[in-house]
Chain A
Amino acid sequence: MTTDVEITTAVSQQFPSAKPRASLDCPAFDVPAGDVIAVLELLRDKQAYDFLMDVTAIDWSAEKSPRFTVVWHLYSSTKHTYVRLAADCTSDSEPAMPTASGLWSGADWHERETYDMLGIKFTGHPDLRRILMWDAYPYFPLRKDFPLAGLPTELSDADITEEIKTGVISAPMVGGPFVATPGEPMSEAEPRAKDEAWSEQRPKG
């Protein structure tokens, strides 16, 4: 069975650009966006990480740069271990990442979801449409600058809009649910009912 040290040396020998990443459980690497597919292929073909369990991304908030980090989790059905890869998107305004759908068919939907939720374009993806939200939805809801209550938008179907004479409205947040915001000071993180239903007419703050 390969130990964590062996997999670390195997990856860093082949790819000096891959740096070990802080992790509480499995081996993890920070990889430049350009090398990701090659590292994934190495892990799959040479290190027996045959399952792509998950693809997702993290938004480190609009103030940070690099803002977006895409994360892959691989699992080996023979070694019974995980490995995590992370790559920062070079652009904060137009985040992009090469697609892994050529290596695993399952990456198709994971990448569509990551695009849908966080707006990361996977270059070379065969069919990068929204998957959970409808096709014409204008926002990326898991970005940190998107409010929990949602933003008012048009409905997907013009006929229904005409019938009910309204679009998608923000969730009313006054009186709950009690939500907390991560960050310091701790008194700010205390869960409380907030009104986050701001819009163009009713600005934030």
Chain B
Amino acid sequence: MPTDFSYPDAAAKAANASLPKEYDAEKMSLSMGPSHPSTHGVLRIQFELDGEVVTKADPVVGYLHRGDEKIAENMTYNQFVPYTDRLDYLAPLANNMAYAIAVERLAKLEVPARCQAIRVITAEMARVSAHLMGLGAYGIDVGAWTVFMYCFEEREKLYKLFEELTGARFTTSYSRIGGLQRDVPEGWVQKVDAFCDQFLPILEEILGLLSRNKIFLDRTVDVGVISHADAIGYGLSGPNLRGSGVANDLRKDRPYSGYEQYEFDVPVGSKGDCYDRYLCRGEEMKQSVRILKQAVAKFPGGDWYAKDARKIFAPPKDKILTSMEELINNFMIVTEGPQMPAGEVYFEAENPKGVLGFYIVSKGGGVPWRLKIRSPSFCNLSILPKLCVGNMVSDVVSILGSLDFVMGECDR
């Protein structure tokens, strides 16, 4: 018996019916965050919703604003090192290095090969630990708790190594202008190598939990697609940019700290959806391990700080205690700061979250006149008003996780 009724027809009729205005669905305003587990810190997004579909999204950032740039203008270059830990606090070692190189570019200072290699090793370890954190948290966002536990176990091993090297697990403050806080302890490099060997199979296992997981695929594939043009226009960087198929990696394109010596590939996505960004991060960890293995294999000897930078890098403690000249030198560096020439530099490093840039305007002396921090998370979040619209609120959670931002860096 034929019937004139079917559900799709009813929906279409309802949609096309010219109902009076009072029947229009009312838009709802929803504030997500600043203390919402899926906003990864203190991001707040002010939504306008039609049912469960986002019609407008306005990210409200700044809850973690500490005025780092103002602080930088008021202290010497060395004093600012601990503040760089607190930018992207999931990869402080990478921030330390980016800041140190920026100031060294200003001073036209070259650090020895051993110092460069240590910096590369610490930065790549920081990248692995930051991506593990991002991956674990992303797992939780889309409903996979196990991944988080696996990732944290591996991350803990890295933090043990960080602790052995720098004395701190979290806020490492390891780089100095013209060198490092200290040389690597004996046997530490071999421990990094051992970590790499045991890490790769575990990483495969972790990625195996997600890569072909039906639930994970449903939550990420074709969700939050960032086009090639948008990724460039919004100035995205890091895995978020490469996920959209733009093969930009400063380690390859403008090698710093000796990255040109290492062989590695730059993974790029094809579609630019959440799943591509996840895949890029997974592959980047493997490439980081590749770099680590090479760096450990040809770990150079020699000095671990720039010996010729007498007005910049403080002399070793034993010399300070025994030589008058070194004591005066140390006193001058501590009180007046490392002496920099006047001028402007802009340096960017490929950090785990994207491109971290420092623009330094110096009038000479030990204090920057202006220090601007170009933070990758800030730029990566600026695409949210465009990216969220048309998605369901639950997909926004998936999108936020895939962007993998850190509010400490976004708000500075």
Using a CB–CB cutoff of 8 Å, the interface residues on chain A facing chain B are 22-26, 28, 50-54, 56, 58-59, 71, 73, 75, 77, 80, 82, 84, 104-106, 108-110, 113, 117, 130-134, 141-142, 146, 148, 177-184, 186, 189-191
Contact = CB atoms under 8 A, between A and B. Distances in A.
Given A24-B105, A53-B374, A106 B379 contact: yes
Contact of A80 (B254, B361, B383, B386): B254
Given A105-B386, A142-B69, A181-B367, A50 B62 contact: no
Interface of B: 61-62, 65, 67, 69-71, 73-76, 79, 105-106, 108, 230, 232-236, 246, 248, 253-254, 335-337, 341, 343-348, 355, 357, 359, 361, 363, 365-370, 372, 374, 378-379, 381-383, 386, 411-412
Given A104-B233, A134-B62, A141-B70, A189 B366 contact: yes
Given A58-B369, A190-B336, A180 B347 contact: no
A77 B248 contact: yes
A106 B382 contact: yes
A191 B76 contact: yes
B369 A109 contact: no
A106 B379 CA distance: 7
A106 B234 contact: yes
8 contacts: A53-B357, A104-B235, A106-B234, A141-B67, A142-B70, A148-B70, A186-B336, A189-B366
Contacts of B370: 56, 58-59
Nearest to B410: A132
A23 B344 contact: yes
A24 B344 contact: yes
Contacts of A133: 62, 65
Nearest to A80: B253
Given A132-B61, A191-B79, A54 B372 contact: yes
A177 B335 CA distance: 14
Contacts of B75: 177-180, 191
Given A28-B344, A133-B62, A141-B67, A191 B335 contact: yes
B346 A73 contact: yes
A108 B105 CA distance: 29
A73 B343 contact: no
